[in-house]
Amino acid sequence: MKKLAFISTVIIALCSFTTTGYNVGDKAMDFKLKNIDGKMVSLSDYKDAKGFIVVFTCNHCPFAKAYEDRIIALNTKYASLGYPVIAINPNDPEQVDEDSYVNMQARAKAKSYAFPYLVDETQSVAHTYGAAHTPHVFILQKSGSDFVVRYIGAIDDNSDDPSAVKQKYVESAVDNLLAGKSVSPSSTKAIGCSIKWKN
Amino acid sequence: MNYFNFAFITLLFPFLLTENKVAVVTFEQLQTYAAHKYNDTLYVVNFWATWCEPCVKELPAFQQEYKKYAGHKVKMIFVSMNAPRDLEKVQSFIDNQKLGPLVLLLNGGNPNDWIDKIDSSWSGSIPATVMYKSGKKVYFCEGSFTPESLEKVIQSKNK
């Protein structure tokens, strides 16, 4: 019984724990994660990129599914302009089989992803960045050898209905960065599926 | 249940139907249910969705607490984050799970406009739970409860 009380105390403590991670303006760390083709991918591999649209996403989450075509469209529009999409799945596949490596490969193939879909096996990238849910976007701008966080948040203001979107947050952020302007809003919030952290 | 029985029961116990009917509300309406009530009832507001596995998993704990505290100034409000067009799905889910009595479906528009009004530390992931008492927020949690941890929080906030 004592043990039980201890466990529940820990859980309460975890509950009020505020997520840490990057703020806008912070320098983001590079990473080396396995892509669905088995090759390792790092931000530094992209010599010509001006920045990145890093999206923490997954297979199973209805919000991630709702945004899948919009993520593909972002890459189509911005990869050639120097801001490719880097998709990262941080979920523990032990908890959600749909998010397993094999299922990631199947999903990327079915939707012909033209961008990397990386697996964050140790979840350290999601932890360091402060990703909390899927999809969760971090726009990074290259500055010398640094990657500076310029935007954190949602893709747009309507997950449910792409035709009813009024504010395309990510597009406007990248457009502003390409035009040498500051990003506003530089952070937004949206409802999403919590990342399935390993126990 | 045949139509006659259904009509008969409805006639006798109309509250059975109305109480478990999911209401679609705006964010302002949601606030009037809990946050703006200046009484000493503890309002436990849980944000969930039928597609959210950890949410569905913790719902029985809330239901258990609701039963335990019936008549003790503790009220549960389940706020579904399903899309408004999922109303029927949510209704049949709560009918099957006997969830209630108060289940709302939030049609709040752009979440960026209201997430911070619940709590500025909320990233937007669910499950999330907020508690109000006497018109004030007394607790917020982004994450899942076990039955034990939920009981502990409710106990401490219900003093």
pLDDT digits (tens, 9 = 90+) for A166-183: 999 999 999 999 999 999
Mutate: best of A60, A156, A187, A189, partner B, most B CBs <10 A = A189
Chain A touched by B156 (CB under 8 Å): no
**Pairing status of strand B102-106 against strand B23-25:** parallel
Residue B98: predicted pLDDT: 85
Q: What parts of chain B have a pLDDT lower than 70? A: 1-19, 36
ipTM score = 0.82
Indicate which CATH number applies to the domain containing B136. 3.40.30.10
Average pLDDT of chain A to the nearest whole number: 92
In chain A, the number of structural domains is 1
Chain A touched by B112 (CB under 8 Å): yes
Residue (of B111, B14, B129) closest to A160 by Cα position: B111
Residue A102: predicted pLDDT: 98
Residue B71: predicted pLDDT: 83
Residues spanned by the domain of B99: 17-157
pLDDT digits (tens, 9 = 90+) for A10-32: 444 445 445 689 999 999 999 99
Mutate: best of B48, B112, B122, partner A, most A CBs <10 A = B112
Assigned domain for A84 exists: yes
Chain A touched by B152 (CB under 8 Å): yes
- Cα of B10 to nearest chain A Cα, Å: 35
Chain A touched by B126 (CB under 8 Å): yes
Assigned domain for A115 exists: yes
Mean pLDDT of A124-134: 96
Indicate which CATH number applies to the domain containing A87. 3.40.30.10
The pTM assigned to this predicted structure is: 0.86
Assigned domain for B12 exists: no
pLDDT digits (tens, 9 = 90+) for A65-109: 999 999 999 999 999 999 999 999 999 999 999 999 999 999 999
Question: Which candidate from A9, A11, A132 shows the least CB-CB separation from B125?
Answer: A132
Residue (of B130, B120, B116) closest to B42 by Cα position: B130
CA-only gyration radius of chain A, Å: 17
